[in-house]
Structure 1
């Protein structure tokens, strides 16, 4: 659980840095502005030092995530990862001087309470490998995420944000499940290995595009749902994840509370603009986790 929380800290801090870098890299005009999934945007973003530092934190967080997934049920790790939004909110408050309302501080407390409930009730990770077809289904889902992102990027407004965010969440969910299905990382015949690479890459691409346009609250809500619910169901149904005896109710309650608190903090996926004149540049644009208000 310590590794899951460490992963959450890394991802939550990286989110602030990457969101600021993504908005700085976004062209105000041009063919790529406002279009679908923009791979060129990712190339521009990696030239920003904040994005590079964010990627380094993502890499460290991924290592912690792998360790956690080898010891905890997927539902516990997924809820901890969703709680990274609480970390983002606290980082925004302390480092970027964003003022949190009483309701938002309460949401942070709700997330912590949900994680505490999960820590008390979670059993050991399941030892079942699931059916062989699960690995191929996982690869199919990863490919579908990329295709859905290409199509969803053409949608208008909130529909675009929701599809890209949900797609990114499903991609990260594929990574969570794939980690459990890979015993030998050098086994090139395992479809789960390719699912992990494709799902993770597609998720980063969709998330980068979702951060640059539209309602980020909607995108992040979709991402949180995509990376928690599906993988949790797979872990319980096919991989043998269990709860401590007699505490199943507490696990369900803790999972629901943690995810609900994370959704309430969805707007903190975007760092506020701090550069001179940034406020004018934001006029008329949607915030990463809101509809233009921003933190």
Structure 2
């Protein structure tokens, strides 16, 4: 759980840095690929990528010892980290209800920590590995056409797509049971992890610039928590401590609800100040 929370700290801080960089990169023309290339020239975006990389290492360590549902909820709590970082670094004022939402996230994670059992020991089938790769490819295709989607519902679609991509990464980590080169090359989960992660970053960058970031972030939280948690329980054997199933379900729902309440803290303006409302990005 310490590793899962460490990943949340890294991802939450990276969100603030990447949102500022994505807005600064939006001043030029071109499509989604051009936007990503301009963002990569921003030091804040590169610093965010560095934190994302460190967070990914923590995430892998957590997924090797915790159920996916616990790790997913912890990662969703990165929005609480984003809120606190925005308050400290950008001078954003948190209202009482928002501090309460941060507390709700922490309470949900505490319940999950008490109720979580060990990770499931059921091996993923080859069909599940191919399904993850197929999902990753679908997310990538969505990312390639994301900027041309109808404006209505675009932010939610891109956010959900990014969430599914990160969810594929969570599941794929569990489906890679050997790090030997020959095994990695022949495992569809390896390619699912790479394609899903890359596609998720593309969709998230597009969502930060081309729609309501609040809506996109809410979609991201839903996509990266509910689906992977279900896969972990149904196909990989994730369980809770005996008799504490109710506490795990309650903690999961509480943590995700608190994260959704803080979704507006993906909203950062070009000048580096957080936007107080959930307006549309221009």
TM-score, length of structure 2 as denominator length:
0.94
Deviation string 1:251-284 (CA, Å, 9 cap, x unpaired) is 0000000000000100101334436xx99xxxxx
Unaligned runs of 5+ in 2: none
Report the equivalent of 2:240: 243
Q: CA RMSD in A?
A: 1.8
Residues 72 and 122 in structure 1, CA contact (< 8 A), matched pair in contact too: yes
Deviation string 1:183-230 (CA, Å, 9 cap, x unpaired) is 223220000000000000000001000001111111111110000000
Report the equivalent of 1:108: 102
Deviation, structure 1 residue 31: 4.3
Unaligned runs of 5+ in 1: 33-37, 280-286
**Counterpart-to-counterpart distance in 2, 1:289 and 1:75:** 30
Residues 216 and 288 in structure 1, CA contact (< 8 A), matched pair in contact too: no
**Counterpart-to-counterpart distance in 2, 1:140 and 1:246:** 36
1:199 is paired with a residue of what secondary structure? helix
How many residue pairs align between the two structures?
Answer: 278
TM-score, length of structure 1 as denominator length:
0.90
Question: Is structure 2 residue 202 aligned with structure 1 residue 205?
Answer: yes
**Counterpart-to-counterpart distance in 2, 1:189 and 1:288:** 48
Report the equivalent of 2:15: 15
Report the equivalent of 2:164: 170
Pick one of 249, 263, 266 that aligns with 1:266. Answer: 263
Deviation string 1:110-144 (CA, Å, 9 cap, x unpaired) is 10000000000000001111222100011000011
Report the equivalent of 2:128: 134
Residues 8 and 75 in structure 2, CA contact (< 8 A), matched pair in contact too: yes
Question: Is structure 2 residue 117 aligned with structure 1 residue 117?
Answer: no
Report the equivalent of 1:82: 76
**Counterpart-to-counterpart distance in 1, 2:78 and 2:54:** 14
**Counterpart-to-counterpart distance in 1, 2:170 and 2:110:** 21
**Counterpart-to-counterpart distance in 2, 1:252 and 1:14:** 28
